[in-house]
Amino acid sequence: MTTKIINQKKSLFLNLEKLILTNFKNYTSERVNFSPTLNAIVGKNGMGKTNLLDAIYYLCMSKSNFSGNDRNVVQKTHDFFRLEGQFKRKEKKEKIVVKVIPGKQKIIERNGTAYSKLADHIGLFPVVIIAPDDTSLVTEGSEARRRFLDNTLSQSDPNYLTQLMRYNKVIRQRNAALKNMAIQHRFNATLIKTYDQQLLEPAALIFEKRKSFLEKIDPIFNEFYQKIAAHQETVQFNYKSKLIENSLEELLEENLEKDRILQRTTAGIHKDDLAFHLDNSPLKQFASQGQIKSFVLALKLAQFDFLKKIKNTSPILLLDDIFDKLDSSRVKQLLDLLLKNDFGQIFITDTHETRVEEIVKDLKIGYKKMEIKDGQCID
Q: What is the pLDDT of residue 333?
A: 73
Residue 112: alpha-carbon gap to chain centroid: 26
346-350 and 38-42 as β-strands: parallel, antiparallel, unpaired?
Answer: parallel
Q: What is the pLDDT of residue 8?
A: 40
- Distance, in Å, from the CA atom of 186 to the CA atom of 173, rounded to the nearest integer, reads 17
- Distance, in Å, from the CA atom of 131 to the CA atom of 90, rounded to the nearest integer, reads 27
Are the CB atoms for 248 and 204 separated by under 8 Å? yes
Q: Taking the CA of residue 239 as centre, how many other CA atoms within 13 Å lie in the half-sphere pointing to its CB?
A: 21
Q: Among 36, 155, 18, which Cα is nearest to 95's?
A: 18
- Distance, in Å, from the CA atom of 288 to the CA atom of 19, rounded to the nearest integer, reads 38
Sheet strands side by side (includes 235-240): 235-240, 273-278, 281-282
The SS3 call for residue 87 is: strand
Are the CB atoms for 176 and 263 separated by under 8 Å? no
- Distance, in Å, from the CA atom of 354 to the CA atom of 293, rounded to the nearest integer, reads 24
**DSSP string of 228-279?**
HHTS-S-EEEEEE-GGGTS-HHHHHHHTHHHHHHHTS--SSGGG-EEEEEET
Residue 102: alpha-carbon gap to chain centroid: 22
pTM: 0.92
Eight-state DSSP code of residue 351: S
Rounded alpha-carbon distances, angstroms, from residue 183 to 88, 178, 195, 261: 55, 9, 19, 12
Eight-state DSSP code of residue 74: B
Strand partners, 372: 377
Q: What is the pLDDT of residue 272?
A: 97
- Distance, in Å, from the CA atom of 313 to the CA atom of 309, rounded to the nearest integer, reads 7
In order of start, what are the domains of the chain with their CATH numbers?
Answer: 1-126+317-379 (3.40.50.300), 133-312 (1.20.1050.90)
Core vs surface per residue 193-209: b (16+ CB within 10 A) or e: eebbebbeebbebbbeb
Give the torsion sign (CA, 329, 331, 333, 339).
negative
- Distance, in Å, from the CA atom of 62 to the CA atom of 194, rounded to the nearest integer, reads 33
- Distance, in Å, from the CA atom of 27 to the CA atom of 377, rounded to the nearest integer, reads 10
Q: Among 372, 305, 259, which Cα is nearest to 1's?
A: 372
In the chain the first and final C-alpha atoms are separated, in Å, by 4
Residues of the chain with pLDDT under 50: 1-11
- Distance, in Å, from the CA atom of 266 to the CA atom of 255, rounded to the nearest integer, reads 7
Q: Among 24, 220, 13, 222, which Cα is nearest to 126's?
A: 13
pLDDT digit string (tens) for 166-222? 999 999 999 999 999 999 999 999 999 999 999 999 999 999 999 999 999 999 999
Strand partners, 97: 84, 109
pLDDT digit string (tens) for 147-175? 999 999 999 999 999 999 999 999 999 99
- Distance, in Å, from the CA atom of 304 to the CA atom of 315, rounded to the nearest integer, reads 7
